[in-house]
């Protein structure tokens, strides 16, 4: 019956873990800093200077997964926005057909008219 309180659960560690290695090379040479586009005014004037190679994080194929995920979310957002605009245009066309008016009129007026005329039975006297 004796329980030890406030005891943290210890999770087993991965036995196959390796020491952390940096994913990109950091050079101590200042010439690569001056050649980069971060400091364009400090770069020495050379013709035909090469850009430094991409860091390993950008060459990593797993980094592409995040960019694909971002692109998919962005595309889904754009598609949803287009669908909402189409739906708003059809609703506006229906309201114009019901209440008259012209495209671009104040949409709030249609809702006010619907509140006023909602309970009334209309008899079309023109027909």
Contact of 73 with 81, CB cutoff 8 Å? no
What is this structure's pTM? 0.36
| Residue 35 CA, distance from chain mean position | 32
Q: Are 25 and 11 in contact (CB under 8 A)?
A: no
Select from 97, 96, 115 the least CA-distant residue to 106: 96
* End-to-end CA, the chain: 90
The whole-number pLDDT of residue 81 equals 97
Enumerate the domain spans of the chain.
Answer: 30-102
Count of alpha carbons within 13 Å of 59, Cβ hemisphere only?
7
Residue tagged 């560690």 (tokens): 13
- Show pLDDT as tens, one digit a residue, over the chain (127 residues): 566 666 667 776 666 655 555 454 444 444 444 444 444 554 444 555 566 665 555 555 666 777 888 889 999 999 999 999 999 999 888 888 887 777 777 767 666 677 777 766 666 666 5
Which residue is listed with tokens 């860091």?
55
């Amino acid at each position: 019956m004796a329980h030890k309180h406030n005891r943290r659960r210890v999770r087993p560690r991965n036995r196959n873990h390796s020491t952390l290695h940096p994913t990109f090379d950091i050079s101590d040479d200042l010439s690569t800093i001056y050649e980069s586009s971060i400091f364009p005014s400090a770069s020495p004037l050379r013709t035909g200077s090469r850009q430094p190679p991409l860091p390993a994080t950008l060459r990593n194929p797993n980094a592409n997964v995040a960019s694909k995920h971002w692109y998919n979310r962005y595309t889904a957002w754009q598609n949803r926005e287009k669908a909402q605009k189409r739906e708003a245009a059809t609703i506006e066309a229906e309201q114009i057909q019901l209440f008259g008016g012209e495209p671009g009129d104040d949409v709030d007026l249609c809702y006010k008219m619907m509140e006023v005329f909602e309970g009334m039975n209309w008899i079309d006297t023109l027909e």
